[in-house]
Structure 1
């Protein structure tokens, strides 16, 4: 909630204490994470990274810094870097599902970025808990001032070419006014047209249901938080009219879907493209 003032004219300051950083009695970030944060800031400002990397290697040691540098470069080049935050919704009692998702996220190169969200459990109707879980994540994203947030549910499966395909989708998302980006879902036998001047995005595609892999843009945060009640009792009443969050999202205008579907669920595989349904292996 504070203000950050960036003063690049101050340049770098170096503590004369040998090759290792000072102790960390105040709970400062580990140096690896501090360097990562600086690299992300430089990247967003369009500044070259090499001068910072050279300084870091001189200060922290070339051997130790080489690994950190490669991790940063890999993260910045991953197409999922486009999304400001990534969450995965998982019930506390279903730890085996989270372990399976950890393996999938590791193969996608995003495990260190995914926040596990402890799903709201509502035994009377899982639709209530699902809706409320998504709402809380959107509320967090708004409070953090994020441009977008990517949400997975813990039974999401991923196409074996998802990294290449997400890269193409991201380049097109940058050119359109999107509010929801759907990586997969139940199409109910429908075919959707490509968005104008796009090869990886379909639009309009308002009848897709399921919320196992989708992103919310900041432009839809306020509407969702205004429309969806913030508590279990309120959502229970809200669902009597809206049925579930995926049904509600069908009414959002700026909704785009990937072509092909990049994420599926075990029970959705029979409805996927026959040429692809055996390739949701990540």
Structure 2
């Protein structure tokens, strides 16, 4: 039987179970962490019932349901700048660590009530714990990492800037520092966690052993879909920036576009420049005899190509790919007005590294004029509530990308494909078409290598002019 002091600083675990070892079955996470809690709002008993089933399925016993502090029903300080739910989350985690300190336990394992577990969780966890350095202070089962992690041992990385507290353990040596850092703070729990990670040895499982369910977040007060956690993707850091620098977004612009459509394009150009730190390049593929663009509004990372209006969009993409593939390793094919959230964009680009081709979204949501203006005011999506589209309270057009993907050609009005350029060029070279630059035939691409169909949504900005209030 394992004892908790095996995980104290300076003492590492003395076993290395794996899925092939029959001895691994006798170990249990409860033998390692003396206190295991699940944070749950009293009004969300449905989540606690769901978590009970998941804990049982993964042999995690004796989990305490810790009643979370409901920020929407608490006095939130005037200095707090985020959502009431995020304030309640911060205070709840502090309360748990204070409880662990008062009990005198040597560590506490904390789960939030929207966590899900990797297959064969117990064996994979103990395989990772066997290599966890003895000086650990925090151990994350998964996280959104903003800097490149440093591998330290098989299945373990050192993290210095990562957020998400859906599944992590804290050692007793860090209890007081954690409480002092967070109690009374006007900063988010994740921001304070950055400071702790800089000053104390904090580690994470790699690949991740747990992640967050897709759905409504009480803390963020919006629908969240962190699908990239399931794939253990590192979306930020030098490696991610290098990948962005090797990528160009090709945006198709129709001839005689409306003023609203052009404004959507300018918004997207600013969004790509700001939210990808200038690493990402963009090329506007405009059709027509003369340009409609205001060159003064084009960010410095923007290129422009003007093509004959008689060309099809597919041929326009092909011509641009033929030129840009000599400069960039990855191309993103899209249209003006189509928006993918920053994390989804980064995640899809990395999935393209694995699969060579990736569809950008599984469903398209056409925004109302009002929601389009909200998105333009906050390009990261803050303040945009998509729940109305989910429950049909808001009018929208939903288009499954599966239909367009299965058709194997870019015939749909709105496309979003991440394609590895060497594969693109090989399609051109091997095509049986007689044209000098044939269209991009995705059926050939699909046969050559597996493609990845994304699970996230894309937002289509309204092309209608914004409604201005009457002066009367």
Query: TM-score scaled by structure 1?
Result: 0.62
Write the distance in 2 (CA, Å) between the matches of 1:119 and 1:75.
33
Write the distance in 2 (CA, Å) between the matches of 1:223 and 1:206.
16
Matched, 1:193 2:150: yes
Number of positions where the alignment pairs a residue of Structure 1 with one of Structure 2:
193
The correspondence of residues 99-114 of structure 1 with structure 2, limited to 5 A, is: 99-111=49-61, 113-114=62-63
Write the distance in 1 (CA, Å) between the matches of 2:129 and 2:71.
35
Residue in structure 2 matching 1:149, options 108, 114, 131: 108
Higher relative contact order (CA 8 A, sep 6+): 1
Residue in structure 2 matching 1:245, options 189, 192, 214: 189
Q: 1:193 to 1:227 in 2, by over 3 A?
A: closer
The correspondence of residues 71-86 of structure 1 with structure 2, limited to 5 A, is: 77-86=27-36
Residue in structure 1 matching 2:177, options 216, 223, 226: 223
Would you say the 8 A contact 2:160–2:194 is kept in 1?
yes
Query: How far does the alpha carbon of each residue in 1:193-212 deviate from its partner, in whole angstroms, 9 at most, with x for none?
Result: 211xx101101x12211100
Q: 1:271 to 1:144 in 2, by over 3 A?
A: closer
Q: Displacement of 1:222 after TM fit?
A: 1.1
The equivalent residue for 2:140 is 182
Write the distance in 2 (CA, Å) between the matches of 1:256 and 1:97.
28
Q: 1:270 to 1:200 in 2, by over 3 A?
A: closer
Quick check: which one's helix share is greater?
A: 1
Structure 1 gaps, min length 5 = 1-39, 46-72
Would you say the 8 A contact 1:186–1:268 is kept in 2?
no
Quick check: which one's strand share is greater?
A: 2
Q: Displacement of 1:44 after TM fit?
A: 4.5
Alignment RMSD (CA, Å): 2.6
Structure 2 gaps, min length 5 = 5-22, 77-83, 215-224, 232-350, 355-451, 454-472
Write the distance in 2 (CA, Å) between the matches of 1:182 and 1:169.
11
Would you say the 8 A contact 2:105–2:172 is kept in 1?
yes
Query: How far does the alpha carbon of each residue in 1:96-136 deviate from its partner, in whole angstroms, 9 at most, with x for none?
Result: 1111101100011123x100001000115111111111111
* Mean Cα deviation higher: 245-254 or 255-264: 245-254
Q: Displacement of 1:81 after TM fit?
A: 2.1
Write the distance in 1 (CA, Å) between the matches of 2:128 and 2:228.
24
Residue in structure 1 matching 2:202, options 255, 260, 265: 255
Residue in structure 1 matching 2:65, options 116, 127, 132: 116
Would you say the 8 A contact 1:75–1:109 is kept in 2?
no
Write the distance in 2 (CA, Å) between the matches of 1:193 and 1:182.
14
Write the distance in 2 (CA, Å) between the matches of 1:110 and 1:182.
17
Would you say the 8 A contact 1:82–1:170 is kept in 2?
no
Write the distance in 2 (CA, Å) between the matches of 1:214 and 1:102.
18
Larger Rg over CA atoms? 2
Write the distance in 1 (CA, Å) between the matches of 2:120 and 2:3.
27
Would you say the 8 A contact 2:138–2:171 is kept in 1?
yes
Query: How far does the alpha carbon of each residue in 1:8-29 deviate from its partner, in whole angstroms, 9 at most, with x for none?
Result: xxxxxxxxxxxxxxxxxxxxxx
The equivalent residue for 1:208 is 162
